[in-house]
């Protein structure tokens, strides 16, 4: 599984002469077992699609924060960006090894 992920999501190194610190768009609080594996702009241009993965054999509780964006709404989503039920960013649980997609709309 790890080899497949490494092939599909290769790391890209970038250098810059800018010494200013850049804050991340999103931060997961409360549990270091949950990883933000993908961030991409939504097709409608109004937000982002996030993919979260619980990389452990245990259920995990966390919260999703945005450090630079004003999030208007958050919904569970699929790969085609069809939204489902509302996603509670301030408190959510993930099952062992679960992957979920979230569609965020920003103001």
The model's pLDDT over 32-71, given as tens digits with 9 standing for 90+, comes to: 789 888 889 999 999 999 999 998 899 999 999 887 888 8
SS3 31: coil
Average pLDDT over all residues of the chain = 87
All residues at 6 or more sequence positions from 105 whose CB lies less than 8 Å from its CB, including other chains: 42, 46, 47, 71, 72, 73, 74
The model's pLDDT over 85-103, given as tens digits with 9 standing for 90+, comes to: 999 999 999 999 999 999 9
Alpha carbons within 13 A on the beta-carbon side of 78: 3
Alpha carbons within 13 A on the beta-carbon side of 87: 27
pLDDT of 77 reads 94
The model's pLDDT over 73-85, given as tens digits with 9 standing for 90+, comes to: 999 998 888 999 9
Closest CA to 76 of 54, 65, 92: 92
pLDDT of 1 reads 66
């Amino acid at each position: 599984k790890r080899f497949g992920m490494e092939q599909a999501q290769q790391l890209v190194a970038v250098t810059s002469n800018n010494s200013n610190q850049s804050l991340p768009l999103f931060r997961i609080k409360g549990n270091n077992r949950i990883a933000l594996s993908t961030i991409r702009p939504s097709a409608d241009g109004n937000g982002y699609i996030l993919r979260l993965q619980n990389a452990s054999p245990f259920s995990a509780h966390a919260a999703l924060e945005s450090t630079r964006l004003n999030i208007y709404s958050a919904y569970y989503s699929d790969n085609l960006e069809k939204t489902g039920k509302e996603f509670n960013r301030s408190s959510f649980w993930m099952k062992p090894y679960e992957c979920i997609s979230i569609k965020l709309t920003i103001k």
